[in-house]
Structure 1
């Protein structure tokens, strides 16, 4: 199994999650981890995992990345939204989405937005969107979230080869 983990991170929290997810997948899969600005092709992979921080209740936009930069973030030149909009055809590819989001009821979910995009692109989504909590806009991740991300990743390996779980 070849897995590609593509992430967008502003303050480093989503990157930590992506690294934990890649680590969990690497137990039994060949894993490539890439920051979204590198715009890696998903061609030749069996599983695509995408992750981003939640911005303005969903995926980042150029304006929300500019605002994050004013607050000390280091956004990439593109976000996950643009990556998915310009990816090679993804129809049939096993996929799943995760995000970091504030630990508040009204913070939205980039993972749910990514999940919808993956489905529209024809991906075979193998998990409900995973949301990992940060204590505030800049973090840090809440205790246990990195371990929970790694565990989530290992669960994806079984379902990605045995059908849709969503």
Structure 2
């Protein structure tokens, strides 16, 4: 069984969650983690699970304008994902076959504001006819630039392990 975790990250929080999810998945399946700018546009038919993660920006997935705002907020103006975001990648991606299951996650600040990048990612993956293996998951940051709330890395690893078990049971 093979899994790929694709992530977009501005301040490193989503990257950390992606790596923790991959650590959990790695207990049950072979897994690779890649930043969205390096992610393949063609999803191999040999891939059993695709996990996609992104930070929530302006109630959903980032756009060029929200990424530019993130650069202004970043210490030293340095962000992790400097090229295309998950939104643009999803517009370019092609399923390589049927059966690759998917799951989506996001990072966001707990606030009374609506919106979730994970829900938008999940809908985009459904439009591409990928079957969902799990509901979208949110991991919490303390502030817009982070850090992650206590316990979120451990929760992400458990979620990844649960995804690995689900994939192996199908």
- Residue correspondence of structure 1 range 97-116 to structure 2 within 5 A: 97-116=104-123
TM-superposition CA deviations, 1:34-64 (whole Å, max 9, x none): 0000022421311000001000010001111
Equivalent residue, structure 2, for 1:86: 92
The 8 Å contact of residues 93 and 124 in structure 1, kept in 2 or not, is answered as yes
Alpha-carbon distance in 2 for matches of 1:114, 1:161? 23
Moved over 3 A (4+): none
- 1:2 and 1:39 mapped to 2: Cα distance? 15
1:20: how far off?
0.2
Equivalent residues of 2:24, 2:164 under 8 A apart: no
Equivalent position of 1:144 in the other structure: 151
Out of 102-111 and 148-157, give the one that drifted further.
102-111
Structure 2 residue aligned with 1:12: 12
Are the equivalent residues in 1 in contact too, given 2:48–2:99 (CA < 8 A)?
no
C-alpha offsets along residues 8-45 of structure 1, whole Å, 9 cap, x if unaligned?
00000000000000100111211110000002242131
Q: Root-mean-square deviation (CA), in Å?
A: 1.4
Match of 2:43 in 1: 42
Name 1:120's counterpart in structure 2: 127
TM-score (norm 2): 0.91
The normalised TM-score by structure 1 is 0.93
* 2:21 match: secondary structure: helix
